[in-house]
Structure 1
Amino acid sequence: MTEFKDLGLSSGLLKAVSENGYTSPTPIQEKAIPLILSGRDLMGLAQTGTGKTAAFGLPLIDRLLAENEHAQPRGARALILAPTRELVNQIAKNLVSYLKTTPLRVSSVVGGVSINGQIKRLSRGTDILVATPGRLLDLVDRKAVNLGTASYLVLDEADQMLDLGFIHALRRIAGLVRQERQTLLFSATMPKQISELARSYLRNPERVEVSPTGRTADKVTQSVHFMDQKAKTDFVLKQLQSSPDDMSLVFCRTKHGAERLMRKLSQNGVAAGSIHGNKSQNQRDKAIRDLREGRINVLVATDVAARGIDIPGVSHVYNFELPEVAEAYVHRIGRTARAGAAGEAVALCAPEEIALFRQIEKLIGIEIPVASGDVPPMAAAASRSKRGGQNRGGQNRGGSKPAPKKPFRKSSSKNDNDNNNASARQAKRRRPNNRKRAA
């Protein structure tokens, strides 16, 4: 059996590996670490929870230590991009645990917190900068960070960054980093845009794939309950009340829907919190901390929490609403059965969601057992599509109802407001014509 000492890591990092409780490398670590140590660009396909952070973090730290250089003021020697604040914080936390005995510094920058504090911290430079694309470009525009000093670029969960509309930000950032660099791209899926991104910014990369797209954790027991949308709240409330000591995640499709469900659960005696795009960074951190430390037992979330959040002890994942993108189902239920434990994934499927459900089954390659209810005909989904369709390619972030005339919406609240203002201006321009016709 392969051990970490067989992968070429330095003795100092092997000690850090041991102190973190790692016994043997995961498949992605076993394949990726030697390639990264050799300086190769790499394109890695692996699901969340497979140990990707250590797969790129350990060899990256090893290479930085070997160079024996110092970060320049406002500079970064290595840049790691991730799609969400939670994933950025998780990556940074793991990296800090790997380099406790080294002089290297790790800094993280995300939106939702004071930018002035981040500017101050970056003024002296950092060895590894972990960032979300939006806040990073804010700092670039303020000349608070110089990406031209970075010799390493890591794109983690690249497919989700594209889902969230970061493609133009990624292209701009890649153009600011040194051209002579090592680039590592990790993704759970490989859509066409990811392949194009890899061809544009990776040089003759090695491709590493350790788990088929759509594969769900072996120890997750899956089931589906078919019911009307209006019946879902009472159903999930009864399930949570019957097991008050279980730690559960409940996934909704929209921010407002998640907040509404959380309040309903709380009003009925369930210790619940919520995490979604309308929450500040401090609120999101507190909700996750409360779940970890047992102050709440249920976290209601949008897909912002589906990747990269490692919360030990989650026994149940409820898909209160099925995701618009089938791959998101895999990431959602991957929040349970962590570190070899067992877990249960429960899907609630309304008649209008049957098409989404069939896409999920096709992706994962199994038929999910039916626990209750009658399987609705596909005609229900077709009828729903005729009534306006759905916001494909990512969650609807503007509210509980999808916007049929806007197939793609950016993720920020500012963009939501801009869209609303634009609609108001269009309506205003139409009013004179309406009055004229009425006259």
Structure 2
Amino acid sequence: MLFEQLGLIEPILKAIKNEGYTTPTPIQVQSIPIVLEGKDLLGCAQTGTGKTAAFAIPILQQLYKTRSASEGYKHIRTLILTPTRELAMQIDESFAAYGKYTGLKHDVIFGGVPQHRQTIALRNGTDILIATPGRLLDLMNQGYVYLSHLEIFVLDEADRMLDMGFINDIKKVIRELPQQRQTLFFSATMPPNISKLANSLLYKPEKVEITPVSTTAERVEQSVYFVKKKDKQSLLDLLLKDKRIERTIVFTQTKHGADRIAKNLRKRNINADALHGDKSQASRQLTLSNFKNGRLRVLVATDIAARGIDVDALEHVINFDLPNVSETYVHRIGRTGRAGATGYALSFCAAEERPFLNSINKLTKQQIPAVSHPFEEAALIDAHNATPDAPKLPPRKPKFKNRKKSSEKKFKVDF
């Protein structure tokens, strides 16, 4: 199917063509007609499926066809609520790209920066507002945001919203929404608390589910490296000696860990920087821009900071720390292997992380292949190869004694 077959108007088709797209993704094929019909939508889709365009394109068309020249930008007609600043900016970029020829106005507000420019934009009026919960509530309380004329409400990344503790903020926003509205609800996972929230918001929704969360991308080759925690940095250094890893996201569990890893890589003359919530907004934007433009080879990120990052031609993802939530693993590796390209997901597993690996294997219904390397914790490899759910065995001495001198030259990255 082509975009021309989805009943889109010429200004939007022209913008889509300018972006170089001709064929919609599965979630776009299913979602766009539903939104254009004015129905509520429950979308379950992973990052990287084209979800943003799936709601941005039909929203732009609906607002364009029902706009009133006399009203101008007086009222906020669409609100998109999203958990992070980075994701809010990316959604804003999508509305800018697809709405280039519609004349519709869009603005984005988020915390971590002075509010002055944002309040000026709101005073001038806007059709579409993209916001994070905290800053939105602040500006609502100050009288800069009114939602009484809202036509469409989008709650994006609902599961991440709840993970970040935004449930009370979301409820406060919902109380201000008009009863008569169209609601679009997106979440990568659908645990009971998310389903309950969706049921409270949606009216007779159509459901679209793309790539179940337990399914890892078919074109991502996965490997696990059993390694002692103290040897993880050395293993990462060794992997990055391979020039085929041109650009990679390294995932870590903590902000402090991200800073430490990036600092150690820079000491080895590897262009690296950390991305997490404790950095200033200007610093985060610069880091992300440098990574997208290729000036950074390694982006070391926490899950929350990295959520929503979409980087073209990213071949490698490295899990320095395994996530303690199995679904997070699927989201992480889903950032590579896109658009028909082969991707590589390399995971480090220390003894204390073995239960996390077992949970991941159980969720994805597979056993990630183990790779031998100079810093391996051999007992865990033996257990892994014997049975995916074997209990942890007592550690034995590594096979490599004088590792750095005798083994590094023989080591070859298995991808």
Query: Which TM-score applies when normalising by structure 1?
Result: 0.83
SS in 1 for 2:315: strand
Would you say the 8 A contact 1:258–1:302 is kept in 2? yes
Cα drift, residue 214 of structure 1: 2.0
Cα drift, residue 375 of structure 1: 5.8
Q: Distance in 1 between matches of 2:272 and 2:165?
A: 30
Indicate yes or no: 2:61 matched with 1:66.
no
SS in 2 for 1:197: helix
Indicate yes or no: 2:16 matched with 1:17.
yes
1:341-392 deviation per Cα after TM superposition (whole angstroms, max 9, x unaligned): 22110000011111111111122221111112436366559xxxxxxxxxxx
1:7 aligns with 6
Change (3 A) 1:237 1:274: same
1:250 aligns with 250
Would you say the 8 A contact 2:107–2:130 is kept in 1? yes
Identity of aligned residues (%): 47
Cα drift, residue 338 of structure 1: 2.9
Q: Distance in 2 between matches of 1:213 and 1:314?
A: 20
SS in 2 for 1:354: helix
2:132 aligns with 132
Q: Distance in 2 between matches of 1:346 and 1:375?
A: 19
1:121 aligns with 121
Indicate yes or no: 2:358 matched with 1:319.
no
1:195 aligns with 195
Would you say the 8 A contact 2:317–2:335 is kept in 1? yes
2:214 aligns with 214
1:98 aligns with 98
- Give the letter for the 1:325 counterpart: V
2:38 aligns with 39
Alignment map for 1:375-386 (pairs within 5 Å):
376=380
Change (3 A) 1:255 1:194: same
Q: Distance in 1 between matches of 2:100 and 2:314?
A: 28
Would you say the 8 A contact 1:241–1:270 is kept in 2? no
Kindly tell me the number of residue pairs found equivalent between the two proteins. 380
Would you say the 8 A contact 1:105–1:126 is kept in 2? yes
Q: Distance in 2 between matches of 1:245 and 1:199?
A: 44
- Give the letter for the 2:261 counterpart: L
SS in 1 for 2:195: helix
Would you say the 8 A contact 1:244–1:297 is kept in 2? no
Q: Distance in 2 between matches of 1:361 and 1:193?
A: 24
Would you say the 8 A contact 1:151–1:177 is kept in 2? no
Q: Distance in 2 between matches of 1:133 and 1:262?
A: 30
SS in 1 for 2:31: helix
Cα drift, residue 126 of structure 1: 0.9
SS in 2 for 1:347: strand
Gaps of 5+ in 2: 384-389, 394-415
2:279 aligns with 279
Would you say the 8 A contact 2:111–2:132 is kept in 1? yes
1:168 aligns with 168
2:56 aligns with 57
Change (3 A) 1:98 1:197: same
Q: Distance in 2 between matches of 1:106 and 1:375?
A: 56
2:404 aligns with none
1:264 aligns with 264
SS in 2 for 1:147: coil
2:148 aligns with 148
Change (3 A) 1:137 1:71: farther
Cα drift, residue 119 of structure 1: 1.1
- Give the letter for the 2:292 counterpart: R
Would you say the 8 A contact 1:71–1:77 is kept in 2? no
Q: Which segment drifts farther, 174-183 or 10-19? A: 10-19
Alignment map for 1:214-363 (pairs within 5 Å):
214-243=214-243, 246-363=246-363
1:110 aligns with 110
2:364 aligns with 364
Q: Distance in 1 between matches of 2:72 and 2:91?
A: 20
Would you say the 8 A contact 2:275–2:300 is kept in 1? yes
Q: Distance in 1 between matches of 2:147 and 2:357?
A: 43
Cα drift, residue 249 of structure 1: 0.7
Cα drift, residue 261 of structure 1: 0.9
- Give the letter for the 1:297 counterpart: R
Over aligned residue pairs, what C-alpha RMSD do you find?
A: 1.8
SS in 2 for 1:108: strand
Cα drift, residue 339 of structure 1: 2.5
- Give the letter for the 2:358 counterpart: R
1:109-164 deviation per Cα after TM superposition (whole angstroms, max 9, x unaligned): 11111112211111112111111111111111211111222211111111111111
Q: Distance in 2 between matches of 1:85 and 1:148?
A: 25
Moved >4 Å (runs of 4+): 377-381
Cα drift, residue 296 of structure 1: 1.5
Change (3 A) 1:182 1:314: same
Would you say the 8 A contact 1:244–1:270 is kept in 2? no
- Give the letter for the 1:194 counterpart: I
SS in 2 for 1:193: helix
1:255-285 deviation per Cα after TM superposition (whole angstroms, max 9, x unaligned): 1111111111111211101100111111111
Would you say the 8 A contact 1:306–1:331 is kept in 2? no
Change (3 A) 1:188 1:112: same
Q: Which segment drifts farther, 179-188 or 329-338? A: 329-338
Q: Distance in 1 between matches of 2:212 and 2:316?
A: 24
1:280-300 deviation per Cα after TM superposition (whole angstroms, max 9, x unaligned): 111111111111222220000
Cα drift, residue 40 of structure 1: 0.4
- Give the letter for the 2:263 counterpart: R
1:167-214 deviation per Cα after TM superposition (whole angstroms, max 9, x unaligned): 111111111122110000011110111111111010011111121222
Cα drift, residue 62 of structure 1: 0.5
SS in 2 for 1:233: helix
